[in-house]
Amino acid sequence: MVKKNIKKVNLNLIRKKIDEIDKSILKSLSKRANLVIEAGLSKEKIGDTSYYRPEREAQIIHSLISENKGKLSQSHIKSIYKEIISACFSLEKKIEILFLGPKGTYSELAAIDHFGNSAKRVPCSDINQIFTKITEENTFGVVPVENSSEGSVNQTLDCLQSQDLVICGELELPISHALLSKTSNIKNISSVCGHEQALSQCRYWLSKNMPNAKLISVESSGVAIEKIQKSKSIAAIAHASNASDFKLKVLKRNIEDQKNNTTRFLVVGKINAKKSGKDKTSILISLDNKPGALSKVLKVFESNKINLSHIQSRPNKSDKWQYSFFLDFEGHLEETKVKNLAKKLSLVTQSLKFLGSYPKSF
């Protein structure tokens, strides 16, 4: 009995210390919020109307991660401070985040991951609508651009080619698919609906476990969730977190064929991100239809010792049988070596479009 009382006293002391720390954290958060409001007022005085600064946010989180010596992981620090920054930022200026809707899509999860829960989220019917609705510098879009197993999202590439928005950020979101339904018995399911990429990412599991199910391609996982509300014979491929939000049953978790399945998202808007110190630049080029044209471009990167991390071709919409190339490489356009690279590339390309320099994903 004495030992139990001692343990209880020790637990109470620990809890008291936790309460004291929480009060201290709250006071510090209040001070931070006040300073953010002051920063907003200072911006207004100098005529700075762009409030979201992706490079500043990246620098804050990178610095905190490097200072972290405790038990919390890098992902914990990132998640906590994304929400702190989001909550404080909402006091300074309201911004809108457009995503591929309706609610419940992976694009919405990506928007929350990057901007936190305090930013206003606006669902759009398709990716093209996201691009056309961004008319102010404090409105941003979160769009998928490529998946680790299924490749590029062509609609996003086409919009980057035809629209004049700037890439000002990126993030990588692990994609874990679940099979959701109104019924708890998988034997009642005759059809499975999901985004075409989600269906492709679960192709082997579906053929092995539900060979007779009809596969229905829809615009997004959010639309798939809407469809299964009307019938107990239909299941949807979506994130498991939607089960509680939409009162659904999780028939099976982790049905994706590749367990490291990841989608890269871009943040697009009307601002140019400044240097953060860990940046990436994206450009769009078109080439003369001649032998060795692409080889010349690659040699420019090699001679300037700049790492080309991604290259993707896409048909040029204005010229039949011509192709444009999307290139991602390390560095920021404010850097001298990247400026020199751009000058040299302009000499070996038919056209060059700057898509954005932005902080690399964590």
For the stretch 254-294, pLDDT in tens is 999 988 889 999 999 999 999 999 999 999 999 887 888 89
Return d(Cα 261, Cα 271) in angstroms, integer. 30
- 24 has a pLDDT exceeding 70: yes
Q: How far apart are CA 100 and CA 127, in angstroms?
A: 6
Q: What is residue 98's predicted lDDT score, i.e. its pLDDT?
A: 97
Please check whether residue 268 is in contact with residue 167, taking contact to mean a CB–CB distance below 8 angstroms: yes
- 29 pLDDT exceeds 90? yes
Instruction: Tell me what pLDDT residue 5 has.
Output: 64
111-156 confidence digits (pLDDT tens)? 999 999 999 999 998 999 999 999 888 899 999 999 888 888 889 9
Query: In angstroms, what CA-CA distances link 273 with 34, 115, 120, 170, 316?
Result: 25, 15, 21, 12, 27
The structure tokens 């929480």 sit at: 22
Query: Mean per-residue pLDDT for 335-353?
Result: 94
Q: CA-to-CA distance for 308 and 329, rounded, in angstroms?
A: 4
Bridge partner list, 6: none
- CA angle (170, 91, 264) in 5-degree steps: 10
The confidence score (pLDDT) of residue 362 equals: 82
> In this predicted model, what pLDDT tens digit does every residue of 316-339 receive, in sequence order?
766 666 788 999 999 999 999 999
pLDDT at 236: 95
Tokens 């490529």, residue located: 146
Instruction: Note the pLDDT of residue 151.
Output: 86
pLDDT of residue 52: 84
> What amino acid occupies position 126?
D
Distance CA 81, CA 190 (A): 44
Each residue of 178-218: pLDDT tens digit? 999 999 899 999 999 999 889 999 999 999 999 999 999 99
Q: Which domains does the chain have, with CATH numbers?
A: 179-253 (3.40.190.10), 273-359 (3.30.70.260)
Q: What whole-number distance in Å separates Cα of residue 257 and Cα of residue 106?
A: 17
Q: What is the pTM of this model?
A: 0.88
pLDDT at 186: 92
